[in-house]
Structure 1
Amino acid sequence: MRVDPHTPVVVGIGQFTERIDDQNYRGLSAVDLATEATRAALSDTGADAAKVAQAIEVFAGLRQFEICTPFADPPLGASDNYLRSVAQRVGADPRRAVLEPIGGNGPQKLMTEFAGAIAAGELEVALIVGSEPGSTAKYFADKDHKPDFTEHVGGQLEDRGYGFEQYMSEYTVAHGLTGAPVQYGLLDNARRAALGVGVAEYRRQMAELFAPFSAVAAKNPYSSSPVERSVDEIVAVTDDNRMICDPYPRLLVARDTVNQGAAAIVMSVAAASRLGVPEHKWVYLRGHADQTEQALLDRERLGVSVSARQAVAEALRVAGIGIDDVSTFDLYSCFPFPVFAVCDEFGVAADDPRGLTLTGGLPYFGGPGNSYSLHAIAETVSAMRSNPGSFGLVGANGGVMSKYSVGVYSTDPGEWSADRSRELQADIAALPTVAVTRHPDGPATIETYSVRYDWPVRTGIIVGRLDADGSRFMALTEDPELVALMSDGDPLGAAISVTPDGDVNRAVLR
């Protein structure tokens, strides 16, 4: 099939991982990790790497954790223009450098954005790159002699901002929602409430979902933790598998102390032909969609994801296929909930023989900050090349199930087709919202919850409903009886009393 010469194709993918326990561990910077991945992607094109590098017009990148807020400087210094530092190292001089806001949906969102720009004739070649140097920061934290990764390269940079304000508010932060585990704990426990499943049974279901992920990670040379885990090992709370935030022991939580980088090169068919990229390297983005969820406390049902449902359905529609036509999946897996949310909506079983990950998932392959799904894209492109004509789906999640981006990839040629993401977003905007009482006072029940084991005093985090009017609120508790129920029992639906205490609400059993 001959396609329009502006049709975008992914032609180069690269990944790099160094493990802190490797004999040749170097403790690389974010720039160095991204450079290794970019060099691999340039080589992967099968064309002249120098010529491809010189042809790249846009370097689009993902933020590392160390530059995700303005509140602290990177512990070992950083480049003032991450993307142009990488570009200089590989002999590129892009006219645009774009730094995306935080969010794990970013890699697929950028791929869709710049593939669309290529299809529109606005540019011909773009690179998407990301890296995370978390293990470097950990390795040097207690060392007397530390490297200085500061670089002053200047140059154009389109910094799109941090974006964290979309995922939190003063109200949620005051009530303990300062990290991903506790936020997703609320969602998984809300899903458990809807299913009517007990604590032990649900933890086993989560472990049964993720144990096969670890088996994939064990065979992936780019994994940060290539160890296969059994269901019983994931379920058992031990010193090595301590509770992080309810309902998650460590082996159900994204592994963020990693040194990983990934890159993908997308270009027009015309540019691929001109630069000599062999056609067997070409992989088409056949389907795509981006959706944004309601704010966390506005959602009528905390145990589902409308944005994930709509994004997956729309990407499949654009690709012209159904869920049964997908050969490979990589569903964002920072915690079980994002995987369950998609499986629930589309009738995909946890033990689907196609598997739900190609990387091995964030707890085992690694959770390199905002750039994880760039590794998923790389693995999917590789899988599509190995099985021509098949379709692979990447589901990328950001925030507290706040944003969901989907890509459907295939070597099967197809011209670019626009999606209806903007129109579908109106459906989410029109959804009903739940009334929130900021300073509740009176009898109430627990709607969902988590427990913070990482605080000096074990603390319960509650989303509840006032008995008087059904409005939703958040509260904290250090009440021994209630914390014991939340840690060792099942507090869903428990009767509590809540009172305001300044900016924080407090709850006790009644």
Structure 2
Amino acid sequence: MSERLTDPGYRRLSPVDLAAAAAGLALRGATADIVAAVRQFEISTPWSAAPLGRADNFPRAVAARLGQDPKRAILEVTGGQAPQRLVTEAAGEIAAGRADTALIVGAEAISTVAHWARAEGRPDFTEHAGGQIEDRGYGLDGLAPPALAAHGLLDPPGQYALFEHARRARLGLSHGDYRAAMGALFAPFTRVAAGHPHAAAPTIRTAEELITETPSNRMVADPYPRYLVSRDKVNQGAAVLLASVETARRLRVPPDRWVYLHGHADLRERDVLDRPDLSAYPAAVAAVRHALDLAGLDLGDLATIDLYSCFPIAVFAVCDGLGLPVTDPRGLTVTGGLPFFGGPGNDYALHAIVETVRRARRAPGTFGLVGANGGFLSKYSVGVYSTVPAPWRANGSATIQAGLDAVPAGPRPGPPGVETYTRKPGQDAVVVARGPDGRRFVTSTPEEGDLLMARFRDLPRPPAA
């Protein structure tokens, strides 16, 4: 479900309206025992604001629109991993017999809120649904390192830019060559978005267009022009209904519409400055591998792949670790990705799951994978879907997580020097470096930032401090 400000008949739908419209299509008369909601951006942090008001119990507000009174209402923690994480959890609850049906919902009306926040006649999205809710909190532990906060680098573009430049340094690429690689990665995504009816930016763009700075493609944080970052000013909602086989039969759902969760995993990365390699995402790579192992598949068995794409590094790091070419002919998105389909807060992966399920139904017997990222390359949840019947299998994420956590914290041994950096327009450069004692530190360069940037761009490896 979506709407654009320029659509004929634009209705100024609230997040509850968008989610309920999508949920109604998913339910089709069924009753949900559980309604689990992805946390909206306006309630994702203690300092978030809701200029047009909000529902005090989002999952129950959505349920009430549809005449539902679920046994459980859940509001998940912040992060783009939430949709897949909730699908996996709900499937386990159904398999254990603790529920017959579960509805996963999410929606954002960020475009509408931004447009009407200071306008006369603005709508009021305040709702008092009340009732039981399992609010799991923000889940932001470890996502705001004090060393980065001290330099004002708490936003996603700023932190992701650090990972991007760390990867560039590892590969020994010039600034220009790396930017070209980012454009080449995302240009095919624009073609997929152009064919999706709910895409927020359905415009085909060349790699050169994506990386060339213009008034409409301004620099956000080096190396990112605006076209390379997640587009959060969207109005989009999605919903997925899960049911037991017995319930599906009782509801007379045609068997050719049944799609099973074959593999799944949920893993977490170390805090940003404790990671051995700022250019890598081992938790995500391990999650994909484990989900495939659980499904009894290899990468080559997949017909569709959707890798979370808030920034290029979120795709690059997973492909690097898996040995998956970024030019894989299957493509790496089924929607067009977050910069082009849209990045509806924490809810993007629910749209990817919906599209993956649709494609699985159109090509029975094939398999599709969805990778959902949260935080700052911090949390990764994976699902593998197919029409091929499969029993529920619990995953071994806890064991794999213990192995990831056993790796020593901190940077890998190496000479002192700059590991990575970024700079926002009009601000100082923020630099992450390794000191003579081997420890990592963060600094800024108010007077030498331009020189540092020039040296870093021109050298295949970061200069020594």
| Range class of TM-score, shorter chain | over 0.9
Deviations 1:229-250 (A, max 9, x none): 1111012111111110111111
Which residue of the partner structure matches residue 460 of structure 1?
429
Which residue of the partner structure matches residue 441 of structure 2?
473
Q: Residues 221 and 484 (structure 1 numbering): CA distance in 2 closer, same or farther, change over 3 Å?
A: farther
Q: 1-side partners of 2:455 and 2:242: how far apart?
A: 50
Q: Specify the SS of the correspondent of 1:209.
A: helix
1:409 and 2:385 equivalent? yes
Q: 1-side partners of 2:113 and 2:68: how far apart?
A: 28
User: What are the residue-to-residue correspondences of 1:366-377 with 2, within 5 Å?
Assistant: 366-377=342-353
Q: Is the 8 A contact 1:388 1:411 kept in 2?
A: yes
Which residue of the partner structure matches residue 262 of structure 2?
286
Q: Residues 486 and 24 (structure 1 numbering): CA distance in 2 closer, same or farther, change over 3 Å?
A: farther
1:385 and 2:361 equivalent? yes
User: What are the residue-to-residue correspondences of 1:208-247 with 2, within 5 Å?
Assistant: 208-247=184-223
Report the Cα offset of residue 489 of structure 1: 5.4
Q: Specify the SS of the correspondent of 2:2.
A: strand
Q: Is the 8 A contact 2:187 2:205 kept in 1?
A: yes
Q: 1-side partners of 2:49 and 2:276: how far apart?
A: 38
User: What are the residue-to-residue correspondences of 1:124-143 with 2, within 5 Å?
Assistant: 124-143=100-119
TM-score, normalised to structure 2's length?
A: 0.96
Deviations 1:351-371 (A, max 9, x none): 111010001000000000100
Q: 2-side partners of 1:476 and 1:422: how far apart?
A: 38
Q: Is the 8 A contact 1:246 1:487 kept in 2?
A: no
Q: Is the 8 A contact 2:41 2:48 kept in 1?
A: no
Question: Aligned partner of 2:19: which letter?
Answer: A
Report the Cα offset of residue 176 of structure 1: 2.3
Q: 1-side partners of 2:255 and 2:339: how far apart?
A: 35
Q: Specify the SS of the correspondent of 1:151.
A: coil
1:36 and 2:21 equivalent? yes
Q: Is the 8 A contact 2:145 2:273 kept in 1?
A: no
User: What are the residue-to-residue correspondences of 1:235-274 with 2, within 5 Å?
Assistant: 235-274=211-250
Q: Specify the SS of the correspondent of 1:288.
A: strand
Q: 2-side partners of 1:96 and 1:304: how far apart?
A: 38
Q: 1-side partners of 2:153 and 2:427: how far apart?
A: 14
449, 452, 460: which is aligned to 1:482?
449
1:358 and 2:334 equivalent? yes
Question: Aligned partner of 2:63: which letter?
Answer: A
1:93 and 2:62 equivalent? no
Which residue of the partner structure matches residue 46 of structure 2?
70
104, 115, 122: which is aligned to 2:98?
122
Q: 1-side partners of 2:88 and 2:194: how far apart?
A: 30
Q: Residues 112 and 470 (structure 1 numbering): CA distance in 2 closer, same or farther, change over 3 Å?
A: same
Report the Cα offset of residue 64 of structure 1: 1.0
The gaps in structure 1 that reach 5 residues or longer are: 1-15, 43-48, 437-442, 497-510
Q: Is the 8 A contact 1:27 1:139 kept in 2?
A: no
Q: 2-side partners of 1:212 and 1:342: how far apart?
A: 17
Q: Is the 8 A contact 1:446 1:464 kept in 2?
A: yes
Deviations 1:142-170 (A, max 9, x none): 31222111111210000000112331133
Report the Cα offset of residue 435 of structure 1: 6.8
Deviations 1:275-302 (A, max 9, x none): 1111111000000001111111111111
Report the Cα offset of residue 36 of structure 1: 1.3
Q: Specify the SS of the correspondent of 1:164.
A: coil
1:450 and 2:422 equivalent? yes
Q: 1-side partners of 2:438 and 2:311: how far apart?
A: 29
Report % sequence identity: 51
Q: Specify the SS of the correspondent of 1:101.
A: coil
Report the Cα offset of residue 70 of structure 1: 2.3
TM-score, normalised to structure 1's length?
A: 0.88
Q: 2-side partners of 1:73 and 1:202: how far apart?
A: 36
Q: Is the 8 A contact 1:27 1:135 kept in 2?
A: no
Which is strand-richer, 1 or 2? 1
Greater mean alpha carbon deviation, residues 336-345 or residues 353-362: 336-345
